Chains A and B, each alone.
Chain A
Amino acid sequence: MGLKELLIDKKGKIQKKWYQLILETYPPEAAAFFKKNRDQFENPVGAHIGEGVEGILAQLLGKTDEDQVKHYIDRIVRIRAVQDFTPADAVRVFPLLKRAIREVLRDELEDPSFMKEFLALEEQIDEITLKAFDIYHSCRERLYHMKVEEWKSRMYMLLRKAGLLYDEREGSLPPQTNMMG
């Protein structure tokens, strides 16, 4: 049996362990709730993290589709990008997958014949972590972009009246504003 088959065999346990390790990054009261409530609308954080965990594992162990991997990373990281985490802690969920695998397969990994495959798998997880950082960054960038957009929308008519708004119907901004931009 190769490492991949072994992982497929223990997928359920790894998934459970990884999910548990992610929940432990939250306060205990919240972790208990995220774990207990299975309703995707009443517990959206738990549901999104669960979906991400399941999806990423399936992608790792099956045929990998880049867009799908990004989608599942996004399910987790978009939430953590606005929660109480530093950038490192926000994307730390993916290194936690390494820990989950090592813990579940502790005995099996003693076998040196798995080493090559195991290192390749860990590299794949490192790649996922880096992608997660890209997504984290784009989420944060979007937050700042939204602040600016919101101010423009909020003052829309006043800006339009003052001719300070780029609007296809109104024509472009006055030249001095363009220079500033």
Chain B
Amino acid sequence: MAKLPKPDELIKSIDWTPPEKDWMDDVPPDIKPGRFCYPAKKNILEEIGFPNPRDWSPLDEDWKLPSNYREIIIEGMKDRLSKYRSFKLFMDICVRCGACADKCHYFLGSGDPKNMPVLRAELLRSIYKGELTWQGKFFGKLAGARKLTEDIIKEWFYYYYQCSECRRCSVFCPYGIDTCEVTMMGRELLHLVGCNTNWILEPVRNCFKIGNHIGIPPHTIKEIIEYLCWDIEEVTGLKIEVPFNKKGAEILFVTPSGDYFAEPGIYTMMGYIILFHYLDLDWTMSTYASEGGNFGLFTSHEAMAKINAKIYHEAERLGVRFIIGGECGHMWRVKHQYMDTATGPAPKNLETPRSPITGTVFEHAKSTKMIHVCEFTADLIAHGKLELDPSRNDKYIVTFHDSCNPSRGMGFFEEPRYILKHVCNNFYDMPENTIREKTFCCGSGSGLNTDEFMEMRMRGGFPRANAVQYVRDKHGVNMLACICAIDRAALPTLMNYWAPDVKVCGVHELVANALVFPHEKTGERPRTLDMRQEPLKPEEEENA
């Protein structure tokens, strides 16, 4: 039994000095460059029909809010409280036990108390109390209540864009308060008065109008993927053509656009293409539903549903039987938690996904008709349908980062690990309290992976990087695998700062490295390069 402190020890441990300033009086925050994302451009807001389009900067004294901003926010809050039972509960039931306080990666990295999830939620809860409850109106500050002012809007903007909606705090809350949903509500309310960020809303506009985050038109998508097919030919000797907008294909494949235009995501894309070719799948990509990511999730429920709908529209137009989704983070939170109710029911032509190779029926996707590429591949491996040579990945000592949304948003822990253990010989997990449902965020999720936010990203990503440093030092880990496109964009930068000798990859990049084609076995053209066109066995090349 742990030693209990004696009364005098307990008394000694109490710090009687009151804090210099009460958090309630400490507004507005000291807004500095490097700690906020640039506001949404005027024309972007106009194009997507969002309120209060204007030119402004968070560094300005005057944020040019509408003159009736108080009524707008309070009405918006009332509306959401009546629509979402969860929001109402989260506003009422917190007992401030502090279990969540030290679980946020932004707090752990920055030490800013307003990044404690409880206090971040309190920024909104105090206004709810002060404006909408009689206790708050009577007892004011005593009841933890405040009145809404312009400075509070500034504070919300600052802190609700310093939360990556990763939900680590909610794992530890005894009441199950999902602080992420409080952030979502905070951001929705801020949209009503035109306080939002360009990094989120320009991709939303591009998704509405063109189909993907950076607005790549169809012919460019096709050309870019042809480039990747040339690379595949270089590595494997195979000439592959990727089907686009193919009517009557069995499977529609949707992946985040980062997989086909950003590095190192492109190697994961090459992985999917090689795997589907190996299986001779009847699949297609869509140049309209050309984005798995959904920045609508970081905007509002309406925007999320609208962006998600195009996947079903394309599945219906192309007449496919089911959908496979690529390695993406928040895309899977949308699919798992909201697709059914926000965008469903699925078009009639879709069927419960059934692997054409193994015959496995994915009953859990009966309603959404969409499965994760990792469960598809894990099932193939379990049925012995892939010939794999894990020694091709021997130069890598691999660890796995559980991306927040697949892990906490849908409980997806084992499939990617199962694949990794079959495609490489050296796999080591990070310490238990930093993986699976307790995984640390990359620090750049929920639309915060922009370069102007670099300092905050490095702070927020530090707990994750610290665990990577540990396995690097202990086991020599040099490759961080993940199943999220934001991770593949943000983790290389994070590693560059905290653990420069660790690279980042998607799971299917390693699958494709290990996948043995018949012509490779006969010695006709043995594989010597990996997806990055680097030697599979660098030591042999050095000795040669």
Binding site for B on A (CB under 8 A): 26-34, 37, 39-45, 47-48, 78-79, 82-84, 139, 142-143, 146-147, 149-151, 153-158, 160-161, 169
Binding site for A on B (CB under 8 A): 15, 17, 19, 32, 101-102, 107-113, 116, 214, 216, 220, 223-224, 227-228, 258, 260-264, 266, 431, 433-434, 451, 454-455, 458-459, 462-463, 466-467, 470, 489, 492-493, 496-498, 533
Residue from B263, B458, B463 in contact with A143 in the complex, judged by beta carbons closer than 8 Å: B458
In the assembly, what is the distance between CA of A82 and CA of B349, in Å? 52
Cβ of B466 and Cβ of A41 under 8 Å apart?
A: yes
Cβ of A45 and Cβ of B113 under 8 Å apart?
A: no
For the complex formed, measure the closest distance between the CB of B524 and the CB atoms of chain A, giving whole angstroms. Answer: 24
Cβ of A151 and Cβ of B260 under 8 Å apart?
A: no
Cβ of A157 and Cβ of B455 under 8 Å apart?
A: no
Cβ of B489 and Cβ of A45 under 8 Å apart?
A: no
Cβ of A43 and Cβ of B102 under 8 Å apart?
A: yes
Residue of B nearest to A30 (CB): B111
Note all chain A residues with C-beta closer than 8 A to B466: 40-41, 44, 47-48
Of A31, A79, A160, most buried by chain B (CB within 10 Å of CB) is A79
10 A-B contacts (beta carbon < 8 Å): A30-B110, A40-B470, A44-B108, A83-B111, A147-B454, A149-B493, A153-B489, A155-B214, A157-B260, A161-B227
Cβ of A82 and Cβ of B458 under 8 Å apart?
A: yes
Note all chain A residues with C-beta closer than 8 A to B227: 157, 160-161
Cβ of B463 and Cβ of A44 under 8 Å apart?
A: yes
Residue from B15, B108, B111, B262 in contact with A155 in the complex, judged by beta carbons closer than 8 Å: B262
Note all chain B residues with C-beta closer than 8 A to A161: 220, 223-224, 227
Cβ of B431 and Cβ of A41 under 8 Å apart?
A: yes
In the assembly, what is the distance between CA of A156 and CA of B113, in Å? 38
For the complex formed, measure the closest distance between the CB of B170 and the CB atoms of chain A, giving whole angstroms. Answer: 17
Residue from A30, A40, A78 in contact with B498 in the complex, judged by beta carbons closer than 8 Å: A78
| Also in contact, A84 and B264, with CB within 8 A (given A44-B463, A161-B223, A161-B227) | no
Cβ of B489 and Cβ of A79 under 8 Å apart?
A: no
In the assembly, what is the distance between CA of A34 and CA of B220, in Å? 50
Cβ of A29 and Cβ of B462 under 8 Å apart?
A: no
Residue of B nearest to A156 (CB): B263
| Also in contact, A41 and B433, with CB within 8 A (given A83-B111, A84-B110, A143-B454) | yes
Cβ of B263 and Cβ of A153 under 8 Å apart?
A: yes
| Also in contact, A26 and B111, with CB within 8 A (given A41-B434, A156-B261) | yes
Cβ of B459 and Cβ of A155 under 8 Å apart?
A: no
Residue of B nearest to A79 (CB): B462
Cβ of B261 and Cβ of A155 under 8 Å apart?
A: yes
Note all chain B residues with C-beta closer than 8 A to A27: 111-113
Cβ of A30 and Cβ of B260 under 8 Å apart?
A: no
Cβ of A82 and Cβ of B111 under 8 Å apart?
A: no
The 10 A-B residue pairs with the shortest CB-CB distance, nearest first, are A30-B111, A156-B263, A44-B466, A82-B458, A29-B113, A157-B261, A147-B451, A26-B111, A153-B263, A157-B224
Cβ of A143 and Cβ of B489 under 8 Å apart?
A: no
Cβ of A154 and Cβ of B431 under 8 Å apart?
A: no
Cβ of B102 and Cβ of A42 under 8 Å apart?
A: yes
Residue from B101, B451, B467, B493 in contact with A41 in the complex, judged by beta carbons closer than 8 Å: B467
In the assembly, what is the distance between CA of A28 and CA of B22, in Å? 12
In the assembly, what is the distance between CA of A142 and CA of B497, in Å? 7
Cβ of A150 and Cβ of B111 under 8 Å apart?
A: no
In the assembly, what is the distance between CA of A41 and CA of B109, in Å? 12
For the complex formed, measure the closest distance between the CB of A82 and the CB atoms of chain B, giving whole angstroms. Answer: 4
Residue from A41, A45, A47 in contact with B111 in the complex, judged by beta carbons closer than 8 Å: A45
Cβ of A149 and Cβ of B496 under 8 Å apart?
A: yes
Note all chain B residues with C-beta closer than 8 A to A169: 533
For the complex formed, measure the closest distance between the CB of B442 and the CB atoms of chain A, giving whole angstroms. Answer: 13
Cβ of A83 and Cβ of B493 under 8 Å apart?
A: no
Note all chain A residues with C-beta closer than 8 A to B15: 28, 32
Residue of B nearest to A46 (CB): B108
In the assembly, what is the distance between CA of A153 and CA of B260, in Å? 12
In the assembly, what is the distance between CA of A29 and CA of B467, in Å? 24
Residue from B102, B109, B431, B433 in contact with A33 in the complex, judged by beta carbons closer than 8 Å: B102
For the complex formed, measure the closest distance between the CB of A51 and the CB atoms of chain B, giving whole angstroms. Answer: 11
Besides A153-B264, A156-B263, 9 new A-B residue pairs in contact (Cβ under 8 A), listed by A number? A40-B466, A45-B111, A82-B497, A142-B497, A156-B266, A157-B227, A157-B261, A157-B262, A158-B261
Cβ of B470 and Cβ of A41 under 8 Å apart?
A: yes
For the complex formed, measure the closest distance between the CB of A70 and the CB atoms of chain B, giving whole angstroms. Answer: 15
In the assembly, what is the distance between CA of A51 and CA of B379, in Å? 45
In the assembly, what is the distance between CA of A154 and CA of B260, in Å? 10
For the complex formed, measure the closest distance between the CB of B83 and the CB atoms of chain A, giving whole angstroms. Answer: 34
Cβ of A83 and Cβ of B459 under 8 Å apart?
A: yes
In the assembly, what is the distance between CA of A119 and CA of B109, in Å? 36
Cβ of A45 and Cβ of B462 under 8 Å apart?
A: yes
Cβ of B489 and Cβ of A154 under 8 Å apart?
A: yes
Of A27, A32, A44, most buried by chain B (CB within 10 Å of CB) is A44
Cβ of A82 and Cβ of B116 under 8 Å apart?
A: no
Residue of A nearest to B111 (CB): A30
Note all chain B residues with C-beta closer than 8 A to A32: 15
In the assembly, what is the distance between CA of A179 and CA of B305, in Å? 48
Cβ of A143 and Cβ of B455 under 8 Å apart?
A: yes
